[in-house]
A and B are shown apart, each in its own frame.
Chain A
Amino acid sequence: MTEHLPILQIIVPLISAPVCVLLRRKMLTWAFSLMVSLAVLCMAAMLLQQVLESGPISYALGNWSAPWGIEYRVDVVNAFVLLLVSIIGAVVLLYAPSSVAKEIPHDRHYLFYTAYLLCLTGLLGITITGDAFNVFVFLEISALSSYMLISLGEDRRALTAAYQYLVMGTIGATFILIGIGLMYMMTGTLNMADLSSRLPSMHGSRTILVAFAFLIVGMSLKLALFPLHMWLPNAYCYAPSVVTAFLASTATKVSIYVFLRFVFTIFGVDFAFENLSLSTFLLPLSLIGIFVASTVAIFQTDIKRLLAYSSIAQIGYIMLGVGLVSATSLTGSIVHLFNHAMMKGGLFLAVGCIMLRIGSVDLADWQGLGRRMPVTMAAFVLCGLSLIGVPMTVGFVSKWYLILAALEQGLWPVALLVLMSSLLAVIYIWRVVETAYFQAPADGAAKVKEAPFLMQVSMWILTGATLFFGVSTSLTVGVAQRAAEWLLGGSQ
């Protein structure tokens, strides 16, 4: 069975999705989805272990060998992302029932789980595939299901947010499609490994340049690089808490993976950075994105919107690492993929717990929450400290590598800017801390219990991960280093 792991990773959640439609009953669909997500998690862990021991895995679908058939190719980079997506998928699903019960109409719960599994399938598929067009297909699968998930939010603005995301996401995906088409036109192949061996001889071709441009813009839109980030705040803000937690931790991360795969593996470092100096494009945009997003976050009163802008800033950090193009900086970026997912996941889960109990995510209603919901606020503060980059949390580890990378290249202004932006994070996290701990609860505030047990477990799993992986970094940093070297080595 282990030789079919790559395809099982996709088939299991894919088939389970329509089964959920058949199952109908709320708790049954949830339990079933949870089982599926745990199975997916086991498979991802097994794949990562296999890749770490024996190198990349190549799986030909239907025994049609590459480059004519579709190939699934698992190497260190995507095994890591697979693991990340499945961890988040499982943890958030564990958390789901009570939150979903509060925020989504009861007759739609089974549809929620169906779309969730489809989204999970799509994200896993994007990550595992070794075929360029397959990326587009799974990209659309995950995108469509996420539009649907977002539209399930209570506020009517969830609908317009989903619509806006649909329009922008489709434009982005279509740009990627154009890029893939142009590449196919010149090389005659869609297999990633084959493309990477054929493209170097065509570096002067204008078609390839245009293909690259379309791909970069399309991917930047999906990963919310400034200034193509406009869909993100509304989408995260108005979606149900569970959806926000899931998407914030996975969707943009997988898009960043796609970016890494196309730029480093398919096109190669020489083409992208030496010929075309992609860094000149990435570095300023990432830095501006970090500062603008962090500054806007400071002025938000809606906590989910605050965290959404914070996410845009964190994506800026990751793209900054990509733009610096060194083993150290890529290690920082890849480890931040993982770390940010843990931090933001924990934060959004905490917000969901609070939403469940007090029904609001507006900062003004969070007065005195430190006293009313101490455990949840403690988790929020811990994840917030990780965002700031306090040592012994994961945020510190990522920042260390990014700053080290900047200093290694003599770019001390970049290092200074990264550090200054951490101070902006201090401001917006501290606003929440002060409101929760320094202001007495409002007069009419009801006494609230802490969130239900399962929600707390999930939240603390992710919060614990931000602390654990900040102290014991051998797994995350070790894998990230190998992944960075792999990407830069330009191997198949």
Chain B
Amino acid sequence: MNPSTAILVALVLPMLGALLISLTGSRPNLRESVTLATGGILFLVVASIVPSVLDGGRPEVEVLEVMPGLALAFKVEPLGMLFSLVASGLWIVTSLYAIGYMRGHHEKNQTRFYVFFAVAISAALGVAFARNMFTLFIFYEMLTLSTYPLVTHHRSEDAKRSGRIYMGILMSTSIGLLLLGMIWTWHLTGTLEFTPGGILEGKASSTIIGVLLALYAFGTGKAALMPFHRWLPAAMVAPTPVSALLHAVAVVKAGVFTVMKVVVYLFGTDLLSSTGLSIWLMYVAGATILIGSLVALTKDNLKARLAYSTISQLSYIVLGAALANDWGVIGGSMHIAMHAVGKITLFFCAGAIMVASHKTEISDMAGIGRTMPVTMVAFFIGAVSVIGLPPMGGSWSKWYLALGAADAHQNILVAVLMISSLLNIAYLMPIVARAFFIAPNEPPEHEGIHEAPVLCVVALCLTAAGCVGLFFYAGDLYRLLMPIVQP
């Protein structure tokens, strides 16, 4: 299949899958097989585009021109390739996990869940493959809308309230800020195409470019840059598979991916580094990194702690983009993959703990390592990756980010990165320690090992293995991403 067709197939396949899932809703096993089959085929289709991109090819396909000069079009370049691989690969694993979780937790309305999951993946791929900001915006909004039913899955009062915060913040930022920035860019340059080197060079004064950068950065609410971060903890009301895939991988990564793509292909790293217009963004990202980690320390609810950890980690990627130099961009882009795999492991473990032992607060999780050793070991691996220590993948991205910060002579930000690693240790390691080294408060319900449903465990083992594997395959990632900074 040639790459251009593969792009279209990759976008349409999940939607077809959603249709099939809604039709097979009454037969759960058939329905689950559809989900897994779609996920498997999708990953293969996306992977088939990789060789072409590695060779320097940029497969593209234009679907139609929506308004004069604004086309719905797709073009795969290394950054998009990375994101699409992450999203489609982790979808399969999450589907495995979701099957185990939803059945183990006896969740209702499972068909609706799988349908919107598929639609959301299609939207994420649309964001990954977008050739211009217009197409990206379309799929960005589609992602918000398709994940709303997932976030509010339980339809309780809590879910309704959190849904309001979710929609409220994401729609306000995207309509109020991002759309404004987008139309303004169109007005200034007459195009919205992602172009290596950017399109804004010489088109407007520095102040205006600075304002535009702010509109894009804050307008991308999914990147959870403070102060527009509240939706992430609010979205934790969703079932854990949703939190895992969407809020550790698809939704948030779509956000930071957008920021990275805008910085590299709309503004151009040369423009930003030579004018220093993104320095304020570095500091906002740095602040988010620190404040996110500090708040995470205070949270006893495991998912809430992980949510604030995500907010903090996302700003690593924004920081990488804001540094606007080679190491920064590479480090930030690599972190998209590293953090995704690491965080998803942590969320899977959180969900597994909830299903197996009904515990959500960390203070209750003493000694749980005895009853759920596999889960907690996987948690440990994921935590080390998130903290950024070898031999887990996360260490590479942190290393490049630190190099980038040093390269830009932003020593304060190097310090921020280091302090943040310490904070990460502070809020993640105690969980592991508590699980293994402290005796439980009350005798456990079940004697011996009582893990979560087997599919959940398989999934989290796979992602934990991924954390380790990415350490060794980081070189391949680097090769994939190099052309972004050195075309």
Contact = CB atoms under 8 A, between A and B. Distances in A.
A and B in direct contact, judged by CB atoms within 8 A: yes
Interface in B178-216: 179-180, 183-184, 186-187
A316 to B, nearest CB: 17
Contacts of B68: 477
A426 interface: yes
Contact of A423 (B134, B176, B183): B176
Contacts, number: 66
A408 B183 CA distance: 10
Contacts of A415: 180, 183
A454 interface: no
A385 B144 CA distance: 12
Contacts of A416: 176, 180
B358 interface: no
Interface in A389-446: 389-392, 397, 400, 403-404, 407-408, 415-416, 419-420, 422-423, 426, 430, 434, 437-438
A389 B175 contact: yes
Nearest to B138: A391
Contacts of A419: 175-176, 179-180
A392 B175 contact: no
A134 interface: no
B438 interface: no
Contacts of A408: 187
A473 B180 contact: no
Central interface residue in B66, B72, B141, B163, by most chain A CB within 10 Å? B66
Interface string A451-492: 000000000000000000011111001000000000000000
Nearest to B186: A404
Q: Which of B67, B137, B152 has the most CB of A within 10 A?
A: B67
Given A385-B145, A473-B66, A477-B68, A430 B183 contact: no
B66 A471 contact: yes
B155 A407 contact: no
A481 to B, nearest CB: 8
B164 interface: yes
B141 A390 contact: yes
A407 B66 contact: no
Q: Is the interface of A mostly helix, strand, loop or mixed?
A: helix
Interface in B113-156: 134, 137-138, 141-142, 145, 152, 155
Q: Mostly helix, strand, loop or mixed at chain B's interface?
A: helix
B137 A391 contact: yes
Interface in B29-72: 64-68, 72
Range, interface on chain A: 20 to 34
B175 A423 contact: yes
B171 interface: yes
Given A389-B175, A391-B138, A426 B167 contact: yes
Given A391-B141, A400-B183, A407-B184, A471 B171 contact: no
Contacts of B186: 404
B187 A404 contact: yes
Nearest to A399: B179
Interface in A59-90: none
A470 B67 CA distance: 9
Contact of B172 (A403, A423, A430, A473): A423
B175 A422 contact: yes
A362 B324 CA distance: 54
A260 B443 CA distance: 80
Nearest to B178: A419
User: Which interface residue of B65, B137, B163, B187 has the most chain A CB atoms within 10 A?
Assistant: B187
B122 to A, nearest CB: 13
A390 B66 contact: no
Q: Which 3 A-B pairs have the closest CB atoms?
A: A391-B138, A407-B187, A403-B183
Interface of A: 385, 388-392, 397, 400, 403-404, 407-408, 415-416, 419-420, 422-423, 426, 430, 434, 437-438, 470-474, 477
21 contacts: A390-B145, A391-B138, A392-B142, A400-B183, A403-B179, A404-B186, A407-B183, A407-B184, A416-B180, A419-B175, A420-B176, A423-B172, A426-B171, A426-B175, A430-B164, A434-B164, A437-B155, A438-B160, A470-B66, A471-B66, A472-B66
Given A389-B175, A415-B180, 19 more contacts: A388-B171, A388-B175, A390-B141, A403-B179, A403-B183, A419-B175, A420-B176, A423-B171, A423-B172, A423-B176, A426-B167, A434-B164, A438-B159, A470-B66, A471-B64, A471-B72, A472-B66, A473-B67, A477-B68
